[in-house]
């Protein structure tokens, strides 16, 4: 059955919706745009690469997981590409941007999504047990990686005086007690970097925003909580990358997140974060910049000390 394509046209009077029949996906919000997604091989990045491609974007998936990244790009569209890129290594990020520019001539959306949680065992949670090398490793990927992404994305976007940079922060970048120390510091830094970059790049018509998700049962979170018991205690396998989780493990993690959540009767999924990224990437958010779009069902707004 043909679907209805909804197009909008902005006039001084407001938005006019125009509908016409179409056999393809309805209303492609990123038609013809060029979007880079780092950490795009799995999890939130994969869901976003899929959604962006569905909405007509030419997607460049960047990751250190070559096999998964290649496979994903091949499944998206003939316009999708995979580029190996360690976001903490500047020559890789520079090459990612250069390859994208030579293939597509421009970058409209750069999604700095790659990130690591870092390893931390139950016995090494305390700040007094902080492993400085581990701190450096987390900051290298999460902060240096995002800063380099912003730097090289801006290099591509400033000459065109347009573009949009999005980064994945976290609820751990909004308040304390939601992640290990290094991770929390790194995610707070992403929110700060977003505001500063938005401040500078606004003069060039470039929008810079970030997204702060609550728990999504991706490989990162499932592995981090692998040994979590019924009492919600952390296990010893904090964030070690033990491969893709099974369906059972995903369901168990989702159940645990639902238990901790403020908003009941809903399960946060990677697709929900991809939808937030789609909003920030598209025309619908054309005046939104320097913003941290928190997708947490109210967790960071609701302490509920008085038992409402």
Residue 63 engages ligand NAD in binding (rule: CB under 6 A): yes
When the beta carbons of 41 and 156 are compared against ligand NAD, the nearer one is: 41
The smaller minimum CB distance to ligand NAD, of residues 198 and 210, is found at 210
Q: Which of 44, 61, 191, 210 binds ligand NAD (CB under 6 A)?
A: 44
Q: Min. distance of Cβ 41 from ligand NAD in angstroms?
A: 4
Task: Please tell me whether residue 116 binds ligand NAD under the rule CB under 6 A.
Answer: yes
CB of 159 to ligand NAD, least distance (A): 26
List binders of ligand NAD among 174-213 (CB under 6 A).
213
Token digits of residue 63: 């990751």
Q: What is the DSSP string of 76-127?
A: H-TT-EEEE--TTSHHHHHHHHHHHHHHHS--SEEEE---------GGG-SG
**Sheet of strand 58-63: strand arrangement:** 81-84, 58-63, 34-38, 109-112, 163-168, 206-213, 292-295
Query: DSSP state, 202?
Result: G
Q: Of 136, 70, 156, 115, give the one whose Cα is nearest residue 273.
A: 115
The catalytic residue among 27, 183, 279, 287 is 183
Report CA Rg, the chain: 20
Residues 127-156 close enough to bind ligand NAD by CB under 6 A: 141, 145
Position of tokens 């009492």? 231
Q: Nearer to ligand NAD by C-beta: 164 or 220?
A: 220
Taking Cα atoms as reference points, which of 120, 138, 106, 85 lies closest to residue 239? 120
State the minimum distance, in angstroms, from the CB of residue 208 to ligand NAD: 16
Active-site residue flag, 27: no
Pick the binder of ligand NAD from 57, 64, 165, 256 (CB under 6 A). Answer: 64
Least distance between ligand NAD and beta carbon 296 (Å):
9
- Active site amino acids: 183
């Amino acid at each position: 059955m043909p679907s209805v394509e909804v197009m909008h046209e902005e006039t001084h009077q407001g938005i006019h919706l125009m509908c016409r029949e179409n056999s393809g996906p309805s209303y492609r919000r990123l038609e013809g745009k060029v979007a880079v997604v780092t950490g795009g091989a799995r999890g939130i990045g994969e869901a976003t690469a899929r959604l962006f491609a569905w909405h007509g974007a030419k997607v460049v998936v960047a990751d250190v997981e070559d096999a998964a990244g290649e496979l994903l790009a091949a499944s998206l569209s003939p316009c999708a590409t995979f580029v190996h890129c360690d976001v903490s290594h500047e020559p890789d990020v520079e090459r990612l941007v250069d390859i994208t520019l030579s293939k597509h001539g421009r970058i409209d959306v750069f999604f700095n999504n790659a990130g690591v949680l870092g390893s931390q065992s139950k016995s090494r949670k305390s700040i007094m047990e902080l492993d400085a090398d581990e701190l450096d490793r987390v900051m290298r990927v999460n902060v240096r990686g995002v800063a380099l992404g912003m730097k090289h994305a801006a290099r591509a976007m400033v000459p065109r005086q347009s573009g949009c940079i999005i980064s994945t922060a976290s609820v751990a970048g909004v308040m304390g007690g939601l992640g290990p120390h290094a991770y929390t510091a790194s995610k707070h830094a992403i929110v700060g970097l977003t505001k500063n970059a938005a401040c500078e790049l606004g003069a060039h018509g470039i929008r810079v925003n970030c997204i702060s998700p609550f728990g999504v049962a991706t490989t990162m979170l499932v592995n981090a909580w692998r040994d979590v018991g019924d009492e919600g205690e952390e296990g010893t396998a904090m964030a070690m990358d033990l491969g893709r989780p099974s369906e059972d493990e995903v369901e168990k993690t989702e159940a645990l997140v639902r238990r901790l959540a403020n908003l009941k009767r809903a399960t946060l999924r990677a697709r929900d974060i991809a939808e937030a990224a789609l909003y920030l990437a598209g025309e619908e958010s054309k005046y939104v910049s320097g913003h941290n779009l928190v997708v947490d069902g109210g967790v960071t707004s609701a302490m509920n000390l008085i038992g409402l």
